[in-house]
Chains A and B, each alone.
Chain A
Amino acid sequence: MASVVVSFELNGRPAEVLARPMTTLQSVLRNQLGFTATKEGCRQGGCGSCTVLVDGEPMPSCLLPIEDVAGRRVTTLEGITPIDGLSPVQQAFLDGNGFQCGYCTPGMEMLATALLERNPSPGRDEIVEALGGNICRCTGYQPIVDAIEAAAGAASTGER
């Protein structure tokens, strides 16, 4: 059970970890590197709370062996939070209360960030479809969809 060394890019900086074979990216982020914005809701790919970006694509970090991200670009919520203030998506979630308990929020924001990257002005239907894999048990989703709409609107009108 020899451990393996895996190098990848994490939030724009080089990262190198020593891990047991097939340790999940989620576990490496949370337990080894202390990047705990990435949550653990189900570890089955079913809830979206551990969503990160790998080479810009949203993926459930609980289903990715760390070996599979070797040499790739990983982005977590910590990586999209500016040194000062908040990203447009984060600001919109804060302003619109797109959260209650806050547990699904990092995954929602990563998904929203990826969506707006692909499509800066998605329709409400597109937002809802994109969020299909991210579960929230508190809000009933409307404030979350509203926040993403607001973030898209703010970006298109050049605010923030």
Chain B
Amino acid sequence: MSDRLTVVGRSVQRSDGVGHVTGRTRFAADHTFPGMLHLKMVRSPVHHALIRGVDLSEAEHVPGFVRALTWRDVPHNVYTILGLIGVEPEEEFVLAQDRVRYRGEPIVAILAETEAAALEAVSKVRLDLEELPAVFDVEEALAPGAPIVTHWGSNAFMFEGHPFRRVRFGDVEAGFAQADEIVEAVYNSSPIEQAPMEPTGCIAVPEAGGRFTVYTNTQALYFSLDNTAIILQVPGKRLHFVGGTVGGGFGGKVDVIVEPIATLAAMKTDRPVRYVFSRSEEMQVSSTRSAWRIRIRDGVMRDGRIVARKVTSYADSGAYSRQTPYALTKHAANAAGPYAIPNVWIDAYCVFTNRTPSSAMRGFGVTMASFALEVQMDRIAERVGLDPWTVRFVNAYRNGDVKPHRKVVEDATLIETMQAAADLVGHELTDEQRAMTSAPRDGGAGGGGGTAGREVAGGRGGAAGREGAVGSGSVGTAEGGR
């Protein structure tokens, strides 16, 4: 094979390299157009409030002011990014209507001839807000009496009728009863801003024939186009999105935040409109990696085997869901780790709070699970008096094993990876560890779930999986959707 490979193992020049080193690469905000307007947003100064009134009278008199857009101007103002793959309900407001749910939530879009005029007009919009109690902690948000963030009355996202994504595998209580040791811990993480060097932004340009060209740095071009079509209630054929050049994203540019309102502004004014975040907006308003709280309770035998694992996870979605329900689904599928554990129970909550909405960032849903699980593995090793390598080898999953969400493992490489890592750091493995492989275990091709487990739950859309839809022994749902 290798003699037929032309790129693998060789250094090749990137096709965009010369553009990057000469500065000729055109990023979205590098375009300018005659008559281009500047869009700046009036944002909520508080975390949670009722909007009593918005007074534009002073702003309208700023020289260079062109017009303002409020929720009344948005054809389909309440949407959900993942609505495209069937996630419900629609819940995020393009422009806030009667309530703001996070600090920095957009309320009024100001269009002006210059950026300076737009900023000045923004400063002159008077907001009459009645501040409401706010909640910033996932478990406080789920407690009785907590301020309710959503417009439908619950701070938990509903997964097929459950306020959490569930995985049920074996009998976790029986596992705890049988265990020599119980190892319990809670793991917390903070939100993380992706902080790309290029701020989120786009320029929407009216073209002939009622079409609009949108130069954007989105990481999800068709997601942005389709959601814009929904929000503006126009057929997709009227929208031409130009993207592909992203000045850093890391997941921070997959939400559909700037394109719909910039395109609407271009429609309303028949002029090119530029909407680019300032650095403070990028830090304060653009979605972050979720804050997580992960509680793990493990039943462990003295030889290091984990016989039961119960994980209760909370992702802080902030005020709106964005991509976080999807993160919880991925999380639930991975929350037991790359280990063969006979009894697993996972409840994974997507919780609404008054923080900045969180969304995608590099491995979201899984990254924090891995952090928590691997620290937990070290804790287990400490408790049973084995070295951390041994505990991982003892529990490592293999091909043919069935993961708790009923996925048959086909691509296990944990054992081989650990062997390679041991070589790299000069760690001595036992002969037994050295001889292990990820090949299927003796005496069975498929593991506990049998072939039934091959069917991954769920069908189309994010609303996947039904109770009992998967192989024998299942009483829960599994990963669905994408």
Contacts and interface: CB of A to CB of B under 8 A. Distances in A.
Interface of A: 1, 20, 30-31, 34, 36-44, 46-47, 49, 76-78, 81, 86, 90-91, 93-94, 97, 99-106, 109, 135-138
Contacts of A103: 27, 196-198, 247-248
Contacts of B13: 94
B482 interface: no
A44 B279 contact: yes
Contacts of B250: 137
B17 A101 contact: no
B199 interface: yes
Interface in B20-46: 20-27, 29-30, 32
A99 B20 contact: yes
Contacts of B24: 37
A86 B21 CA distance: 8
A46 B248 contact: no
A147 to B, nearest CB: 9
Contacts of B249: 101
Contacts of A101: 196-198, 246-249
Contacts of B195: 137
B233 interface: no
Nearest to B252: A137
Contacts of A93: 20-21
Contact of A37 (B22, B196, B246, B247): B22
A39 B198 contact: yes
A78 B23 CA distance: 7
Given A30-B30, A43-B279, A99 B197 contact: no
A149 to B, nearest CB: 16
Contacts of A43: 278-279
B116 to A, nearest CB: 7
Complex A-B, nearest 4 residue pairs according to Cβ-Cβ distance, in ascending order: A37-B23, A102-B20, A103-B247, A36-B30
B132 interface: no
B19 interface: yes
A22 to B, nearest CB: 9
A81 B23 CA distance: 9
Nearest to B274: A31
Interface string B106-140: 00000000101000000000000000000000000
Interface string B361-402: 000000000000000000000000000000000000000000
B85 interface: no
A31 B32 contact: yes
A136 B197 contact: yes
A34 B197 CA distance: 20
Contacts of B198: 39, 41, 101, 103
18 contacts: A1-B63, A34-B32, A37-B23, A39-B27, A41-B197, A43-B278, A46-B279, A78-B22, A86-B22, A93-B20, A94-B13, A94-B18, A99-B20, A102-B21, A103-B247, A105-B20, A109-B21, A135-B197
A52 to B, nearest CB: 11
B14 interface: yes
Given A44-B279, A47-B197, A137-B197, A94 B247 contact: no
Contacts of B432: none
Given A20-B116, A137-B250, A102 B32 contact: no
Contacts of A1: 63
A104 B32 contact: no
Nearest to A92: B21
Contacts of B32: 30-31, 34
A106 B197 CA distance: 12
B248 A99 contact: no
B114 A20 contact: yes
Contact of A104 (B19, B30, B197): B197
Nearest to B27: A103
Contacts of B3: none
B16 interface: yes
A82 to B, nearest CB: 10
B247 A77 contact: no
B279 A102 contact: no
Contacts of B196: 101, 103, 137
B259 to A, nearest CB: 19
Given A34-B32, A97-B14, A105 B23 contact: yes
Contacts of B26: 36
Given A20-B114, A135-B197, A138-B248, A42 B279 contact: yes
Nearest to B18: A94
Nearest to A41: B197
Contacts of B194: 137
Interface string B62-91: 010000000000000000000000000000
A146 B276 CA distance: 33
Contacts of A47: 197, 279
A94 B23 CA distance: 12
Contacts of B279: 41-44, 46-47
Nearest to B11: A97
